[in-house]
């Protein structure tokens, strides 16, 4: 009898090919063939075309781009791999800075009811603010689009990690802490030897949520500030009216996001324990 993982993999492949077939058929439909934008009319376009490229066109471009992903032919012509590396570097810096602050502060909030009540109003006010709303202020103060992008990643990554860390630490069973006190462990050793292992799955869940948000936000941030990165790549290809490259880059963003999520999901499984 096939395992559920094998059946799920087969079903995923079937769904993929069905979606590709629907995409191809929709593009060949008469309505799609007649579609034309106002921009094409103004530019004097004589041959109306389908607005979305065929899957085969995207596949051909993907092969070409992935054959040489790190080429650099100037500011506006860099390979998708190089653009991804720029984005991943910004995400990594902002994400790690957020972790360095969110996790210790989450421990403090989770272990101290006083600090939890004192800091809760600030968290509740700052948490709902869209990360991109900080971009104009960051650009004005920091005077650098690169650092501003990192700051936006930092500000969007910090809240899930902070809240999940505080929740995980606060949810550790009192029995564990009482045992640590019985062995006369200090607060610092209790935090590292007892609370951290017990709260690790919840902390890593927060980190997993944060990496997904960070990857979403960096694309939008790079569209705003330009220069380099996968967000700029998408926007630049749109300005060049190369929709095949736009679709290809969207798919690549999704694949990289999935890989980042799988990495954190695997790390979460490694620290899970059964009581």
**Predicted confidence (pLDDT) per residue in 171-211, tens digit:** 888 777 777 777 767 777 777 778 888 889 999 999 999 99
pLDDT at 150: 93
- The two three-digit tokens of residue 135, written as one number: 């971009």
Q: How confident is the model at residue 95 (pLDDT cuts 50, 70, 90)?
A: very high
pLDDT at 47: 45
Q: Could you tell me what percent of the chain has a pLDDT over 70?
A: 89
Q: How far apart are CA 10 and CA 2, in angstroms?
A: 11
Last residue of a domain, one of 10, 33, 52: 52
Region 248-254: what's the mean pLDDT? 92
pLDDT at 224: 85
pLDDT surpassing 50 at residue 112: yes
Do 72 and 10 share a structural domain? no
Do 7 and 75 share a structural domain? no
Number of structural domains (the chain) is 2
Do 196 and 264 share a structural domain? yes
Last residue of a domain, one of 18, 33, 52: 52
What pLDDT, in 10s, does the model give residues 31-80?
544 544 544 555 555 444 446 788 888 888 889 888 888 888 877 778 88
Q: How far apart are CA 222 and CA 203, in angstroms?
A: 28
Do 75 and 45 share a structural domain? no
pLDDT surpassing 80 at residue 144: yes
pLDDT at 29: 62
pLDDT surpassing 90 at residue 215: yes
* Burial grade of 250 (CB within 10 A; 0-12, 13-18, 19 or more): middle
User: Would you tell me how many other CB atoms lie within 10 Å of the CB of residue 200?
Assistant: 18
Do 183 and 163 share a structural domain? yes
pLDDT at 177: 76
Do 88 and 66 share a structural domain? yes
pLDDT at 46: 45
Helix (H, G, I), strand (E, B) or coil at 78: strand
Q: What is the CATH number of the domain that holds 105?
A: 1.10.3720.10
Region 252-265: what's the mean pLDDT? 93
Do 35 and 171 share a structural domain? no
The rounded mean pLDDT for the chain is 84
Q: How far apart are CA 143 and CA 257, in angstroms?
A: 29
pLDDT at 119: 92
Q: How far apart are CA 167 and CA 32, in angstroms?
A: 51
pLDDT at 103: 94
Q: How far apart are CA 120 and CA 62, in angstroms?
A: 47
User: Would you tell me how many other CB atoms lie within 10 Å of the CB of residue 190?
Assistant: 19
* C-alpha gyration radius of the chain: 24
Region 6-33: what's the mean pLDDT? 79
Do 126 and 198 share a structural domain? yes
pLDDT at 44: 53
Do 264 and 237 share a structural domain? yes
- Domain extent at residue 237: 54-271
Cα 186-167-92 angle, rounded to 5 deg: 95
> Which residue did the predictor score with more confidence, 86 or 242?
86
Q: Is 85 in contact with 71 (CB distance < 8 Å)? A: no
* Burial grade of 213 (CB within 10 A; 0-12, 13-18, 19 or more): middle
Do 128 and 39 share a structural domain? no
pLDDT at 32: 46
Do 263 and 171 share a structural domain? yes
How many helices and strands in the chain, by DSSP H and E? 13, 0
User: Would you tell me how many other CB atoms lie within 10 Å of the CB of residue 221?
Assistant: 29
Do 158 and 125 share a structural domain? yes
Q: How confident is the model at residue 216 (pLDDT cuts 50, 70, 90)?
A: very high
Q: Report the interhelical angle of 113-126 vs 145-170 (nearest 10°).
A: 140
Q: How far apart are CA 73 and CA 38, in angstroms?
A: 33
């Amino acid at each position: 009898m096939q395992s559920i993982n094998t059946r799920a993999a087969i079903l995923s492949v079937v769904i993929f090919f069905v979606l590709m077939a629907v995409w191809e058929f929709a593009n060949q439909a008469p309505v799609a063939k007649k579609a034309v934008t106002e921009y094409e009319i103004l530019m004097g376009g004589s041959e109306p075309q389908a607005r979305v490229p065929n899957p085969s066109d995207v596949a051909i471009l993907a092969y070409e781009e992935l054959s040489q992903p790190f080429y650099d032919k100037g500011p506006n012509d860099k390979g998708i791999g190089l653009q991804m590396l720029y984005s991943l570097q910004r995400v990594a810096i902002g994400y790690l800075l957020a972790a360095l602050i969110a996790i210790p502060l989450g421990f403090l909030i989770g272990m101290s009811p006083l600090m939890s009540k004192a800091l809760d109003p600030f968290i509740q006010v700052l948490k709902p603010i869209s990360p991109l709303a900080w971009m104009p202020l960051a650009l004005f103060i920091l005077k650098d689009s690169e650092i501003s992008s990192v700051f936006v990643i930092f500000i969007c990554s910090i809240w899930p990690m902070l809240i999940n860390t505080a929740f995980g630490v606060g949810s550790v069973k009192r029995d564990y802490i009482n045992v640590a006190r019985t062995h006369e462990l200090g607060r610092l050793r209790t935090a590292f030897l007892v609370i951290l292992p017990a709260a690790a799955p919840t902390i890593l869940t927060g980190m997993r949520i944060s990496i997904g948000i960070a990857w979403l936000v960096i694309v939008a941030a790079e569209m705003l500030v330009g220069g380099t990165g996968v967000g700029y790549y998408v926007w630049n290809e749109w300005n060049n009216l190369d929709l095949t490259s736009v679709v290809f880059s969207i798919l690549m963003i999704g694949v990289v996001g999935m890989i980042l999520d799988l990495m954190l999901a695997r790390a979460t499984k490694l620290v899970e324990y059964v009581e």
